[in-house]
Amino acid sequence: MGALCAIVLVFGFFAVCQSTIRLRKYIAKPEMDDYKSDDELVGEHKSTSVRECAARCQTECSFYGFNPQMKKCRTHKKIFKSGMSNEGGWRYYTPDYILRDCKDIQTDGYFNTGVYEIYPYGTSTRPVTVFCDMTTMGGGWTVGTGQYKKGFGSPEQDVWVGNDIIHQFTKEETASLYVSITLGNGTTLYEMYGGFSVSDEAGKYKLFLAGPATGTLGDSMLNTGYAGADLSGMYFSTPERDNDGSSKNCAALSNHRGGWWFNNCNWAFLNGQLYPTISYCKWCYTLEIGASIRETMMMIRRH
The domain segmentation of the chain, as residue ranges, is 26-95, 102-302
pTM (two decimals) = 0.71
Q: Would you state the pLDDT for residue 5?
A: 33
- pLDDT value, residue 153: 52
Tell me, what's the pLDDT at 117? 81
Q: Angle 244-160-223 (CA atoms, 0-180°, nearest 5)? A: 45
Residue 204: C-alpha distances to residues 207, 241, 247 (Å): 9, 10, 18
d(Cα 183, Cα 161) in Å, to the nearest integer? 23
Dist CA 202 CA 296 (whole Å): 28
CA distances from 250 to 90, 240, 264, 267, 293 (A): 60, 11, 8, 12, 21
pLDDT at 172: 80
Instruction: For the domain made up of 102-302, give the CATH fold.
Output: Gamma Fibrinogen; Chain A, domain 1 (3.90.215)
Angle at 118 between CA 192 and CA 58, to 5 degrees: 160
Q: What is the pLDDT of residue 40?
A: 86
pLDDT value, residue 152: 52
- CATH no. of 26-95: 3.50.4.10
Which residues of the chain have a pLDDT value below 50?
1-17, 146-147, 154-157
Q: Within 13 Å, how many C-alpha atoms sit on residue 173's CB side?
A: 7
> Do 102-302 and 26-95 fall under one CATH topology?
no
Compute the distance between CA of residue 17 and CA of residue 204 in angstroms, rounded to an integer. Answer: 35
pLDDT, one tens digit per residue, over 127-136 is 788 889 999 9
Predicted pLDDT of residue 211 = 94
Query: Rounded distance, CA 230 to CA 238, Å?
Result: 18
